[in-house]
Structure 1
Amino acid sequence: MAAEGVPGSLVKVAYLLVLSASWGMQCWVTFVAGFVMIRGVPRHTFGLVQSKLFPFYGHIVMCVSFLNLVVYAAYHPRDLLSTSESVQISLFFISLIVSALNARWFSPATTTAMFKMQDIEREHGLGGEIGMSSNIEGYKRLREKDPKYQALRKSFLRYHGISSLCNLVSLLSNGANLVYTALLLPTI
């Protein structure tokens, strides 16, 4: 509850704006942008757009998580933390760790596997269709026929799943921090 100095109004407003903007961006990227694009552009175009946007997205989330953690920790000394403040600072730390892993490792690994898959798909005339449900049989035949493609797909799905999980954990951590911030508004 007690703080090592009281943050000024500018710090409080900046903290809240950064946290809410980050969470809003995470919600948009996670629940809207990808679903809209996959239904409206060819598969390989979708992959290319994602490969260009995700590095920026991942690093922005990582930097914002770091900034939120630093600002929060600066005004909430460890020996004076209440239980809810301890949970909040832990959530900031979790968000930082998973967003850093995602930005620096899982997302690039996903992109690398995707581009290798797309090279093989192009050789077989695939990738220009719009949506995930188009030409399912063509992709199934390619998986059955090409063990290299099947291995790349398995790698892609593994890294994509871990990357999605990291993104979801970060989104939930930041969402919970917004709830804590709203409930404890006077102690920001």
Structure 2
Amino acid sequence: MPTEGDPTALVKAAHLIILSTSWGMQIWVSLSGFVLINTVSRHNFGLVQRSLFPYYFYTVLGGSFLNLALYALYHPHELLNNDEAVQITSFFICVILSAFNAQWFGETTTQIMLEMHQIKNEHHLGQEVGFGSDRELYKKLQKKDPKYQKLSQRFVKFHDVLSMVCNLVCVFCNGLNLLYTAANLKTF
């Protein structure tokens, strides 16, 4: 049941803290990937992502859910104006997409990555530093090993397409909500 009246200062602060923390974490994790891939070996990069991503995805999911709940509590759907409808829709989209990442895409990507690591180890690959390093060796491995080729294609599908798109849309949605929230501040 929607709450009547304006939210208290505590509710407003909680909403802003959760939203800004989620968005800041999304930016940090997204940018840190570019730094890590160029400073640690491919296998270490994968192991860091394997450890970090479940916490990251579930934290984004939790923050998105709390923000949606707080926002919906003070904005009954029958009274939403266009700006509020955009905000609540953005929160809802972020909940759905972060749930996909947390429940399916992240876990699937991790399993594929671990299988790929085993094959790379057999061929003495994976210790290179940098994204573009030894690209030709990986192309040869794909041609030589059909299992690795299939895993590589699945990895691209789940990590580089589905998970990344979900993450970028969530970053956009939370950024949009921060803009709307900032635009509605009476003073700062």
Q: Do the structures match in fold with TM over 0.5?
A: yes
Q: Which runs of 4+ in 1 moved over 6 A?
A: none
Residues 7-156 of structure 1 aligned to structure 2 (within 5 Å): 7-30=7-30, 32-156=31-155
Equivalent position of 2:182 in the other structure: 182
Could you tell me how far apart the structure 2 residues matched to 1:25 and 1:153 are? Answer: 28
3-state SS in 2 of match to 1:185: coil
| TM-score in terms of structure 1 length | 0.95
After TM superposition, give the deviation of residue 5 of structure 1 in Å: 2.1
3-state SS in 2 of match to 1:5: coil
Q: CA RMSD in A?
A: 1.0
Q: Which stretch of the first structure deviates more once superposed, 177-186 or 71-80?
A: 177-186
Could you tell me how far apart the structure 2 residues matched to 1:22 and 1:159 are? Answer: 22
After TM superposition, give the deviation of residue 4 of structure 1 in Å: 2.2
Unaligned runs of 5+ in 2: none
Q: Deviations over 1:126-160 (max 9, x none)?
A: 00111112112211111010001000000000001
Q: How many residues align?
A: 183
Equivalent position of 2:4 in the other structure: 4
Q: Is residue 4–residue 76 contact of structure 1 (8 Å, CA) maintained in 2?
A: no
Q: Which amino acid aligns with 2:63?
A: V
% same residue: 54
Unaligned runs of 5+ in 1: none
| TM-score in terms of structure 2 length | 0.95
Q: Is residue 43–residue 128 contact of structure 1 (8 Å, CA) maintained in 2?
A: yes
